[in-house]
Structures are given as C-alpha cells and as structure tokens.
Amino acid sequence: GNSVTQMEGPVTLSEEAFLTINCTYTATGYPSLFWYVQYPGEGLQLLLKATKADDKGSNKGFEATYRKETTSFHLEKGSVQVSDSAVYFCALRSGANSKLTFGKGITLSVRP
Amino acid sequence: DAGVIQSPRHEVTEMGQEVTLRCKPISGHDYLFWYRQTMMRGLELLIYFNNNVPIDDSGMPEDRFSAKMPNASFSTLKIQPSEPRDSAVYFCASSKSGGPSTGELFFGEGSRLTVL
C-alpha cells in the first residue's frame, strides 16, 4: 500500500536559517507528491506539488524535488522566516484511488 | 470563489449528545473528504465521496459516526452518541478531478469539537 514517512519533529530554527524537512514514500505506480502547510488555527493548504520524477515544485521560497530513485520529496528553504512557523505535511496520491495519503506532519518553529 | 465552508467552527457538548458537523464544498468540485485531526493520531481520513457517493468509509471509527452527502453542495458528519474521545478538529476538504489542480485538496478551516 501507499505510505509517507516524515522525519520526527518538532524542528526549531532561528530566522534566516536553512531548512530541510525529509519525506520518503512507498507507492504503487507513479504517484503525485505534495507538501501541505497548516498555519495555527487554520486548515491545510497546498504549498507545492510535483507530478512526475525529477519535477521540482516551488512556492514562497520553498522547493522540493521528486526523486524517484530515492523515493523522496524533501522540502527545503534557504532562509526561513518567523511567518513560516507551521505544521508541514508530505502527501502522495497514486493511481485511480483519489485519496491523499498524508505523513504525520512536522511542526516548525522559527525564532526571531 | 468561496472556499470550503464548515460549521460550526467550535462545538462544546456533553457526552451522549448528538453532534452534526456541516460542510459546503467548493462549487464544481466532485470529491469531498472528511478528516479528523488530533495530537495523538495526527490527520486521519474518515470518509470520502465522489459525485455524492461514498467511496471509502474504512476510516470511520465506529457505528456512532455517519456521513451523508445529499447533494453536490452539502455534506454532514454526525456523531451519535458523542464521547470525550471524539474531541478533535474535524476538517472537510474538496477537490476536482482532472485539469491542472488534480490532486489538490482544498480544506475548510475545521470544526473544533469538545465533548465533556
């Protein structure tokens, strides 16, 4: 079956630090991969996505590259801001089954 | 266009009472999902619908939970009777199959349920 594994959290960084959040997956077929972000008190919203191998999704300074050989979709940002403090979820969608499989999420806190 | 609309935003009730959560998906979306989020279990998919038909309800915890989608613009999640362990934030999400946004779920702001 499909599964998504995210690194354990929480993560605390200082403003302007470099961010990497690891995500690996197991899936049948050729999944589409997503990162969702949940700001405090809000629902999840799509941050970026990639639909095929070697695609790079990017948004708001965040990037993630679909690596089929390592079954990974790590999220990176070169310089985080306090406003990036949120919970980040990696997810995949594969085949005719249209439900998303989410990872457990990781809380990022950015200190001024 | 309005996003996914959920009501109520907050609900506090006593154990044994019936709880009904409501969701209006984005117009034109053909998939609707109900999720539950807790600190202990994270984000869990309860049930999802395609064109108003339930496709997968394997995540519904037990018979106390039921969900309906009588038309394309409305869905309910009902808990009867409610228990303290049902306390969580319940999210509704919708999506549209096909096109560039395939795979993207649009979430509502959630309904925070507290069962005393």
Residue B91 with chain A: CB contacts under 8 Å: 43-44
Asked whether A90 and A33 are in contact (CB, 8 A), the reply is yes
pLDDT score for A30: 83
Residue B115 pLDDT greater than 90, yes or no? yes
Scanning B46-105 for CB atoms below 8 A from A yields 48, 50, 55-56, 91, 93, 95, 97, 102-105
Any chain B CB within 8 A of the CB of A44?
Answer: yes
Q: Which helix (H) or strand (E) holds A24?
A: strand A23-26
Residue B102 pLDDT greater than 70, yes or no? no
pLDDT, mean over chain A: 92
pLDDT score for B101: 59
Q: What is the mean pLDDT of each run of 10 residues along chain A (112 residues)?
A: 88 97 91 93 92 94 96 97 96 75 93 96
Neighbours of A104 (CB within 10 A): 16
B108 CB burial (10 A radius; 0-12, 13-18, 19+): buried
Residues B91-113: what's their mean pLDDT?
A: 84
pLDDT score for A24: 97
Residues B19-48: what's their mean pLDDT?
A: 93
Report percent pLDDT > 70 for chain A. 96
Residue A98 with chain B: CB contacts under 8 Å: 31, 48, 50, 55, 95, 97
The verdict on a CB contact (< 8 Å) between A44 and B108 is no
CA distance A53 to B70: 39
Residue B100 pLDDT greater than 70, yes or no? no
Q: Which of the two residues, A68 and B97, has the higher pLDDT score?
A: A68
Size of interface A-B (CB pairs under 8 A): 51
List pLDDT tens digits, range B40-52: 888 899 999 999 9
Our measurement of the distance from residue A108's CA atom to the centroid of its chain's CA atoms, rounded to an integer in Å, reads 12
pLDDT score for B1: 63
List pLDDT tens digits, range A81-109: 999 999 999 999 876 556 788 999 999 99
